[in-house]
Amino acid sequence: MPAGRRTATDFARLATEAAHPRAAKLDTLGPQAIADLMLAEEAKAVKAAHARSAEIGRAAQLCADRLAAGGRLIYVGAGTSGRLGTLDAVECVPTFGVPPSRVVAIVAGGPAALTRSVEGAEDNVREADQRMRRTAVGPNDVVIGVAASGVTPFVRAALEYARFRRAATVFVTCAGANVEAAADVIVAMDTGPEVIAGSTRLKAGTATKVALNAISTAAFVLLGKTYAGLMVDVRPTNAKLWARAIRIVRALSGLDEAAARRLIEKAGGRAKVALIMHHAGVSAPKARELLVIHKGSLRAIVGDLPLHTSVEGT
């Protein structure tokens, strides 16, 4: 693997480091005026993400294709970007019933960097190579590099390693310069300068969170992890999620609460399996077999179901 990739960066030229013209007297404003300015800028972050919906869609399809082939979704980032990638990875597991091994997060500086700053971690190219090697990144995987500035050495090195290993790559950034060849799909959002210059946990962080949400959610929707806007693959690991699974089964079956709970229990805690058992009149093993045959798509097995909207919370 090539080494020594680090080149000098003129940070003063980065859009994310520029001073915001409306923030020249920020420290003289009252609390509501500060909040008004910040919230107005945050609204621009969503627009910046929406302007890249085509690229986000391509990234989602790429993720869905690699996951369907048995690969993994791997997020790589440093600082705020790394924490946002980790958040998205962690939330995919209970929401879509995905094994933790299929959605992985790599953060510069290791787990300690999730709760405190690890000095120099984002510049450590060698660590990026080592972490990617230990993760055994390969051709079936898709790697999403996240770097608001677009120049973070750890992330750029990780993406380079991923491409060397023939993994699919996505780069989510709030920079537009010098990122064209960094990945197969580039999601470059023009968020502009921050209210506090260089603090990319603000507007850039919001745009990044929105983009990652859209990529992962769209990917798992494409993989049949939802039905009619309901998370039918939810894993009921606590009381709240059990209540949600019961509501989902009730909404798509018309069963009462007690019957829905019993059905989910017979299905091994899987709402999707329970619904197939109910509508197809089959056992849990047969329902799971049907899911394999139909690549996880509930709709392909049961067709269009009426939504019982009278169920509270649906």
Q: Is the pLDDT of residue 117 over 50?
A: yes
Domain 11-222 has CATH 3.40.50.10490: yes
Quick one: pLDDT at residue 4?
Answer: 43
- What distance in Å separates the CA atoms of residue 172 and residue 208, rounded to the nearest whole number? 7
For the residues of 102-149, what is the DSSP string, one character each? GEEEEETT-GGGGTS--TTGGG-HHHHHHHHHHTT--TT-EEEEEESS
Quick one: pLDDT at residue 1?
Answer: 47
Quick one: pLDDT at residue 27?
Answer: 86
Domain chopping of the chain, boundaries: 11-222, 239-302
Token code pair at residue 99: 């094994």
Kindly report the pTM of this predicted structure.
0.89
Q: Given pLDDT bands bounded at 50, 70 and 90, which one contains residue 177?
A: low
Quick one: pLDDT at residue 21?
Answer: 80
Q: Is the pLDDT of residue 310 over 90?
A: no
Q: Tell me the pLDDT tens digit for each residue of 229-287.
A: 999 999 888 999 999 999 999 999 999 999 999 999 999 999 999 999 999 999 999 99
Q: Alpha-carbon Rg of the chain, whole angstroms?
A: 22
**Catalytic residue ranges:** 91, 122
CB 180 within 8 A of CB 186: yes
**Which CATH number applies to 239-302?**
1.10.8.1080
* Same fold across 11-222 and 239-302: no
- What distance in Å separates the CA atoms of residue 244 and residue 256, rounded to the nearest whole number? 14
H or E element in which residue 27 lies: none
How are the residues of the chain apportioned to helix, strand and coil, as percentages rounded to the nearest 5? 55, 10, 40
Q: Is the pLDDT of residue 216 over 70?
A: yes
